[in-house]
Amino acid sequence: MSQNIDASQNLSSVDGTAAGIQDARVAVGKLADRARSASRVLARADRNWKDRALLAIAASLDTHRASVIKANAKDIAAGKANGTSDALLDRLKLNDKRVDALIAALEELAGLPDPVGTVLRGQTLPNGLRLRQVHVPMGVIGAIYEARPNVTVDIAGLALKSGNAVLLRGGSAAAHSNVALLALIRDALESVGLPADAVASVDAWGRDGADAMMGARGQIDVLIPRGGRELIQRVVTTASVPVIETGEGNVHIYLDESADASMAVPILLNAKTQRPSVCNTVETLLLNANAKASGEVLAALHKAGVRLHVDARAKALAGSTPTIDAQESDWDTEYMDLDLAVAVVDDLGGAIKHIRRHSTGHTEAILTNDLSHAERFIAEVDSAAVIVNASTRFTDGGQLGLGAEVGISTQKMHARGPMGLRELTTTKWIVQGDGHVRS
């Protein structure tokens, strides 16, 4: 993979100080133009060709796993030297098992249907005009994310399969890993006759590179930030390129009066403890004041190691279960840890009111045996996913049968909820006539 390693970023300028924002704009503009040219090849590549590229990347990851893990070790060492937290180091880490997971994900992606060319609507009008609204690639996607090198492979794979070129800004903490992964991806593209420029990185220009991407209106079609609140807010508020917002999940579960403990306890344990660090984990439990399952649920959560941040009424319901007094800020905190805010509400209306005030619009669930309550919750809660009697952990592209996903959109434009391949496309109207003029 020598050619693209040579052509890849000069690590000495990864911190973004070597080049100013003007230089970054020019350089990123050139990368975007080359990505645009590459995108035109990809847009016309058939599924078979794109799948061969995905499998070539997977094979190369397998072949070069030692050098990828070695590059990653440099990032880990640098992170340790910088005093990076264990949680962040864990996200940064690549090992054999994680490389296997990346390979498996690429192979799974190759097995998914191609969204490009599928017809959304079509008809022949009374005047004989033939119409089709067809899914086509966006063109050039920009991805801005943090120190997770696996995202480099995930996003590149999703972009390729949906026929898009992609510019990546992966964060300096994973710089060595990303250089190795990028070179391998670009070589694999060339090995199947696709242009390497379909996947490129702006990491050499550091934060200036990210800023240049945000301003590359007309050159980048859509920006997808993936990461923490601060990153996403910065992109959303400063970018002139359209942004699909992903992420933040201040997820609520409302335990209705009628819910049985036998259903509520397993769902709460799953939603809070299975993987506390992800966006579809529950962060606030709303207890109906008369919910019969309250005591049992709180005791089970405590037993599972969950710290309960309770309001005064929830404290009373907790009985002998140890709790922490909640602060006002707890209702808006995405803990991403074994913490749970717990509030008591008088009724379903109170739960909906609390959710309207504090939800980030990701996922909310109701646990109930009352049909009218389920219907009202579905109708009135304005979130990307509304769940009845199941774990909030199901808000996930793979779980919902969409296949791989780019993230969970918490906005209302373009895509809402898990963003699979289809959400990385736009549409084009194709109108065919025989000399038709408008009367």
* Interacting residue ranges for a second copy, rule: CB under 8 A: 40, 43-44, 123, 125, 129, 131, 133, 136, 138-139, 217, 221-222, 236-237, 240, 242-244, 262-263, 266-267, 269-271, 274, 374, 378-380, 382-391, 393-396, 399-401, 411-414, 416-418, 426-438
Q: How far is the CB of 367 from a second copy (least distance, A)?
A: 9
- Going from the C-alpha of 134 to that of each of 121, 159, 426, 429, the distances in angstroms are 7, 18, 8, 6
Q: How far is the CB of 14 from a second copy (least distance, A)?
A: 30
Pairing of strands 165-169, 199-201: parallel
Strand partners, 223: 142, 243
Strand partners, 285: 253, 342
Q: Where are the alpha helices (DSSP H) in 134-228?
A: 149-161, 175-191, 206-214
Q: Which is nearer to a second copy, 91 or 362 (CB)?
A: 362
Q: Which is nearer to a second copy, 187 or 423 (CB)?
A: 423
First-to-final CA distance of the chain: 60
Q: Which one, of 429, 428, 432, lies nearest residue 136 by Cα?
A: 428
C-alpha triplet 109, 49, 188: angle, nearest 5°: 75
- Non-local (6+) Cβ contacts of 258 within 8 A are 368, 369, 370, 373
- Going from the C-alpha of 45 to that of each of 114, 132, 137, 254, 346, the distances in angstroms are 11, 20, 11, 47, 57
Taking the CB of residue 341, how many other CB atoms lie within 10 A of it? Answer: 27
Q: How far is the CB of 394 from a second copy (least distance, A)?
A: 6
Q: Which is nearer to a second copy, 120 or 312 (CB)?
A: 120
How buried is residue 213: exposed, middle or buried, by Cβ count under 10 Å (0-12/13-18/19+)?
buried
Q: How far is the CB of 222 from a second copy (least distance, A)?
A: 6
* Rounded distance between C-alpha atoms, residue 77 and residue 96, angstroms: 18
Q: How far is the CB of 247 from a second copy (least distance, A)?
A: 15
The single residue listed with the structure tokens 């061969």 is 52
* Rounded distance between C-alpha atoms, residue 223 and residue 237, angstroms: 12
- Sequence letter at residue 277: S
Taking the CB of residue 29, how many other CB atoms lie within 10 A of it? Answer: 15
C-alpha triplet 83, 89, 95: angle, nearest 5°: 140
Q: How far is the CB of 263 from a second copy (least distance, A)?
A: 4
- Sequence letter at residue 137: P
Q: How far is the CB of 179 from a second copy (least distance, A)?
A: 30
Q: Which is nearer to a second copy, 61 or 116 (CB)?
A: 116
Q: Which is nearer to a second copy, 16 or 361 (CB)?
A: 361
* Rounded distance between C-alpha atoms, residue 368 and residue 374, angstroms: 7
Q: Which is nearer to a second copy, 137 or 206 (CB)?
A: 137
* Rounded distance between C-alpha atoms, residue 236 and residue 223, angstroms: 9
Q: Is residue 148 within 8 Å of 178, Cβ to Cβ?
A: no
Q: How far is the CB of 201 from a second copy (least distance, A)?
A: 23
Q: Which is nearer to a second copy, 169 or 393 (CB)?
A: 393
Q: Which is nearer to a second copy, 325 or 375 (CB)?
A: 375
Q: Which is nearer to a second copy, 217 or 229 (CB)?
A: 217
Q: How far is the CB of 366 from a second copy (least distance, A)?
A: 10
Q: Which is nearer to a second copy, 303 or 412 (CB)?
A: 412
Q: Which is nearer to a second copy, 30 or 80 (CB)?
A: 30
